[in-house]
């Protein structure tokens, strides 16, 4: 139970930080950048953190299911 809670917490932290980074990056350069340009040019700083957070939450659910 404890590893799954840790994974959920860390996943929520990563997802929240990635969402914040995506919002601030797009807010500063709204006219010049869009999601596809940011992904293709490698400037997508928050997208990877957001995706990692979602994956960590899913792994937490798998760990909880496997421990029962």
The residues spanned by each domain of the chain are 2-67
> Where does residue 51 rank: exposed (0-12), middle (13-18), buried (19+ CB within 10 A)?
middle
User: Does residue 3 carry a pLDDT above 70?
Assistant: yes
pTM for the model: 0.72
Determine the pLDDT at residue 33: 56
Percent with pLDDT over 90 in the chain: 28
Which DSSP string do the residues of 12-59 spell out, in sequence order?
Answer: HHHHHHHHHHHHHHHHHTTTT--HHHHHHHT--HHHHHHHHHHHHHHH
């Amino acid at each position: 139970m404890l590893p799954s809670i840790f994974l959920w917490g860390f996943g929520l932290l990563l997802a929240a930080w990635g969402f914040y980074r995506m919002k601030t990056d797009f807010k500063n350069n709204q006219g010049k950048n869009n999601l596809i340009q940011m992904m293709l040019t490698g400037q997508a700083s928050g997208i990877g953190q957001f995706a990692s957070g979602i994956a960590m939450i899913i792994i937490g659910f798998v760990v909880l299911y496997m421990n029962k």
